[in-house]
Amino acid sequence: MGVLERFSLSGRIALVTAGAGPLFGSSLSEALAEAGATVITASRSLERNEEYAAGLRDRGFDAHGMAFDISDPSSIEKLRDDLLARFGRLDVLVNSALARDGHGGGFEEQTAETWAASATGDMVGLFTICKAFIPALVAQGRGSIINIGSIYGVVSNDPGLYEGTPMRQPPSYTFVKGGMVNFTRYLAAYYGKQGVRANCISPGGYFTGQPGPFVTNYCNRAPIGRMMGNEDIQGAVVFLASDASAYVTGVNLMVDGGWTAI
């Protein structure tokens, strides 16, 4: 098999949680579809996922929308059962869904209750969806799990970025994403000999129309000199999903414009 052929996802089934979302999710789904995978996007809104999948099909890709709630274990199990019944297997699991409950405000504003709310979706949800699908990956002897983390799972946020804005970085987000990185390593070590790879992608700041002072501060600090756009994460997810990374597991791939290099 040639080098470029190893990047092909033709014949693979890929699930992207929050895969129709306006941030990373839709970019991840688009990239996997363009690489040849059958892509299933899933989040709370079935309508949004079906609409996004229809748009991908209009472009000639194989895409489908489903619904589930990352904070509800029974919903995760139903997604697994429905997906495996419909498609027969899963080859790539991309965990991009984030339960926003509890991730508002700075340290002073957050409470034990908001931390518990965020943990229910982001930590328990991640554990539950991996536990739900891993037996199927093990049974077929192959599979790639890709968890979407953050630079703030590796380094602390810089409070100076938010000067002149009402923005604050919630500490619960840093806590959750840091745990995700090491949980990924655990899965890689535990299931590697059974053919299942687990890796993490930790992106930098994604431009979503943030206040001007924040954008200026961020761009001045980032070695590449700009915030992330839609295409910046796509190559990374195709690489980790494909046979091009067959000997790569337990890695936290920084896609951050050099942010954590300084």
Q: Which residues are catalytic?
A: 173
User: Which stretches of the chain are assigned E, i.e. beta strand?
Assistant: 13-17, 38-43, 63-67, 92-95, 143-148, 196-203, 252-255
Report DSSP letters for 44-80, one per residue: S-HHHHHHHHHHHHHTT--EEEEE--TT-HHHHHHHH
Task: Specify whether the CB–CB gap between 117 and 125 falls below 8 A.
Answer: no
* Phi, psi values for residue 66, rounded to 5°: -140, 170
Phi then psi for 6, rounded to 5 degrees? -70, -20
Q: How many residues does the chain have?
A: 262
140: CB partners within 8 A, 6+ apart: 89, 195
Residue 254, strand partner residues: 202
